[in-house]
Amino acid sequence: MSRIGNAPVVVPEGVEVKIDGTFVSVKGPHGQLEYTFNSNMIITLEDGILKVARPNNSKDNRALHGLTRALIANMVSGVSTKFTKELEMIGVGYKSSLSDGNLVINAGYSHPVVMEIPKDLNVEVPQPTKIIISGIDKQVVGAFAANVRKVRPPEPYKGKGIKYSTEQVKRKVGKTGSK
């Protein structure tokens, strides 16, 4: 039995869920998300509780059971409370800013890196070395944050680069010199 797949998803106040077979639409105070799941999954809504069931114990259905439940739970929590990722920039001259709907990053290259912000994300730069990405779709938030981090990943010797605020960078000792 799938521990994740069998866990019910509680729909909070102010969130409206519509199910049409395997098409699920979730509408809340922050927006609306829609997704069509695999036709083998059985999705039901009773008294504000969403449940996902599988028709049999085949390997494919067992794999889809927990995935479907987790995706629905992320949809429900995304429209009720947004997902956020915080990134920090460490390094001399490393800074970021917003310009015309783009995120401009100066990270030690000869040119600034300009990244277009997806329309369903909200990006804030409260300080030049801090970037806050928020949105209702967990996958889009995480993918954009990973792309921003990929501009200059943290290096292990001095710790310079772009890292998540909760990330711990393992530092290496480096050369000790002669004698």
pLDDT on residue 150? 96
Question: Do 154 and 163 meet the contact criterion of CB atoms below 8 Å apart?
Answer: yes
Q: What is the sign of the dihedral through the CA atoms of 8, 9, 10 and 16?
A: negative
Low-confidence ranges of the chain (pLDDT < 50): none
Domains of the chain, with CATH numbers?
A: 3-80 (3.90.930.12), 83-164 (3.90.930.12)
The percent helix, strand, coil of the chain (3-state, each to 5) is 20, 40, 40
pLDDT on residue 64? 93
pLDDT on residue 179? 59
Q: What is the pTM of this model?
A: 0.89
Residue environment code for 40-65, b if the CB has 16+ CB neighbours within 10 A, otherwise e: ebebeeeeeebbbebeeeeeebeebb
pLDDT on residue 173? 87
pLDDT on residue 176? 76
pLDDT on residue 178? 60
